[in-house]
Amino acid sequence: MNLLASAIDMPMIIIDTLSRVRSLNPAAEDLIGRHAVEAIGEDVLSLLADESARPDRALPRALQRCMGSGEVGTATALFRTPCGPSAVRMTIVPTMSDGQVSGAVLIGHHPRGRENVRAELPMELLASTPSGLAEVDDIHGVLGDELARVIDVLDLDLAAIRLLSPAGRPMLVCRGVDPREARELLSIPGPDGMLLYQAVAYVDNIISDEDDTDYQAPGDITSFAAFPLHAYSGAGGCIVFGIRGNGGTIRQYVSILQVLCNQINISLRNHILNYELKKRNTQLRGLYETSKAVSTSLDLNDVLQTIVGTAMSLVGAENCFIFEMDHERRKLRILSMMTQWSFDPNIELDLNEGLVGAVASTGQGILAPRADLDPRAKRVEGTPDTPSSMIVVPLIFNDRVLGVMSLEKTPGEPFDRSQYELIELFSAQASMAINNAYMFGDLQRTASTLQMLNVLLTHDVANFNSPIHGYLEMLLREPTLDDRQRRYVRSALVQSGNISELIHDIRQLIAMRNNGKGWKLEPTDLVAVIDEALQDVSANAVYEDIEVAFQPSVDSALVQGNTFLKGLFYNLISNACKYGQSCPVNVGLEACDEGGSWWKVTVEDRGRGIPDEMKERLFRRFDKLDTSHAAEGHGLGLSVVAELVRRFDGQVSVEDRVPCDCRQGSRFTVLLPRC
């Protein structure tokens, strides 16, 4: 080691674990102006000028890290020389023995003028400026490490940064100075009364030395330089570096620090962009998860529990309440909650009562970082009297306030603006989900009522009507009735038949709705189906005297159908008999190749016909042609026909039997795809 030291033309000092000098090379002897035998055994710090030998200065700190953890370090220090203090840049390398630190080797530059030493510092500082600052979350820690590095490299005493974090909270980072003194330094007033951190926003920098009267630094700080930071909040961001006692002036480092601050500004701007990107991604991810969560169920209780749980997980809340708005009573009551507290869940709040009531009244959300200090807040009996942070947002759908959602957490990191914005976005999804659950509940109750009415109609009324219809059929065949009596009985029988057909149509509509997904089709012969429908019509005593002619042009006509197909043609044929004024009815069947490959079925009557303005809405469900037709239930039967044809992928239409003369009867045409 001694031979190596002698061969190196740079100052080299070898020390033991107690920082005692064990060896000096000739270059080091020339530096301190003493022979090696005079310095061996002395503390290496005794070779330094007083201001560089203090424990808080760069070289002593670097030595401490080297001996403690074996870390290689660099530091600038002022050595005592025959010509006065001389700045030397030292590299500290640990020596090892049996895996343990046994000392260190200090290697420095040749003693040169201070300007030459300073010229080499910018490259070292700027080359190691933290390029990964944009990606880190702990901006406070990274900035603190950067300040410590600058202090070590330039052998300064202190550095401090004041700025607002991306979340909008004040941030103070300091090294070599305690927070209280750092705040004093940053807040010293200038000649115009502006505080240092405010004044520096309007200039490139502010430099002050011991003899400067514009800014009076606190304590033993004799020289400082302040630079603006505009990364997060515009004016107000500031970074300051300082020297204490007789450590010299900081002016010699201004150019280096200016470039370094510019680099930090750029890194901080990139950090805020990265922060905003992460925040938006978090919001989008939260909304995506929310959309999935609230769409899994339409049951109100399930939806509410999902909303509460998701909202709490999005922002780390400890308690969440959803209040329902009673617009008639102007009250708010708890609809759902998840909380650590025990209190009466039946409590009600008035509008403008507490933060929740204020939000319900105005429709505007509230972010309360310290809700316990907010004069609008109301403490509910059973909840702890501790500092808390709250987010309260309205649940609005179609400009109507459905209720209010309140999230709360007790001491710790308060809710910030980004979390409030996330919950504000989430509340729109939550409001829609709650409204859909309300609607689903209404539909369930309506469906239950309709089911009850359906049972009454299709079971009880049908049972009452069935014997009436049978007695009237028997009476119609009674030979002792005169013509006038027979007309009365036939009229009553028609009305009883209408009731039976109405019940049958309702049953078919319900069956089609219930079997929507299970609608199965198979090859079916139209000729056989229409024959069966004609037999059913002829079996009706009301229509037994009406002549119905079926003249198919083929022996077999296959379509994709099922048991509902007969009901389709029974409706059409029975309608023709009913409104045909007892005249003959003709049913036709033939192939049709117009616009496809179809089987065409026509049903013609010679009744009073259908005016043109009523043909368009003839097949619309529950529409009526006129008062007399409405009484006979005409619209519902044909609406069943239209629905059946649609399900069979066919077409249905109506036209005048005699073109341009609706008074000569009607022709109904059904087209069904051929197999």
Min mean pLDDT across 424-433, 461-470, 612-621 is at: 612-621
pLDDT of 238 over the 80 cut: yes
Q: Identify the band that residue 231 occupies on the pLDDT scale cut at 50, 70 and 90.
A: low
pLDDT for the residue 629: 40
Sign of CA dihedral 91, 95, 96, 100: negative
pLDDT of 557 strictly over 90 = yes
Q: Give tens-digit pLDDT for 597-613.
A: 999 999 999 998 888 88
Q: Which of 232, 400, 273, 268 is nearest to 325 (CA)?
A: 400
Residue 125 near residue 153, CB atoms below 8 Å: yes
Helical segments of 128-189, H only? 139-154, 179-186
Q: Which of 237-251, 416-430, 487-501 has the lowest mean pLDDT?
A: 487-501
User: What does the alpha-carbon distance between residue 540 and residue 377 come to, in Å, rounded to a whole number?
Assistant: 77
Judged against a pLDDT cut of 60, whether residue 553 lies above it is answered with yes
Among 46-50, 368-372, 587-591, name the most confident range: 587-591
Q: Give me 610's structure tokens.
A: 């259908």
- pTM reported for the whole predicted model: 0.47
CA angle centred on 449, ends 446 and 455, rounded to 5°: 140
Q: Under DSSP, is residue 111 helix (H, G, I), strand (E, B) or coil?
A: coil
Pairwise CA distance, residues 637 & 506, whole Å: 9
pLDDT at position 313 over 50: yes
Q: Is the pLDDT of residue 524 over 70?
A: yes
Q: What is the pLDDT of residue 132?
A: 52
Helix axes 634-647, 564-579, angle to 10 degrees: 150
From the list 403, 376, 405, the residue with the least C-alpha distance to 393 is: 405
Mean pLDDT on 244-269:
82
Q: What six digits make up the tokens of 514?
A: 């219930």
Q: What is the mean pLDDT of residues 193-203?
A: 89
Sequence-ordered list of residues with C-beta below 8 angstroms from that of 463, at least 6 positions apart, any chain: none
Share of the chain above pLDDT 70, in %: 88
pLDDT reported for residue 53: 86
Higher pLDDT, 609 or 132: 609
Model confidence at 117, pLDDT cuts 50, 70, 90, reads: very low
Could you give the C-alpha distances from 411 to 168, 171, 369, 416, in angstroms and in order? 19, 19, 10, 14
Residue 561's nearest CA partner among 520, 533, 530 is 520
Judged against a pLDDT cut of 50, whether residue 623 lies above it is answered with: no
pLDDT given at position 15: 94
The residues, ordered by sequence, that sit 6+ positions from 348 with a Cβ below 8 Å of its Cβ are 331, 332, 333
Q: What is the mean pLDDT of residues 460-480?
A: 85
Q: Which residues contact 213 (CB under 8 A, 6 or more apart)?
A: none
Determine how β-strand 221-229 pairs with β-strand 237-244.
antiparallel
Mind listing the domains of the chain with CATH numbers? 2-112 (3.30.450.20), 123-275 (3.30.450.40), 295-444 (3.30.450.40), 483-673 (3.30.565.10)
d(CA 487, CA 481): 10
On the 0-12 / 13-18 / 19+ scale of CB atoms within 10 A, 483 is: exposed
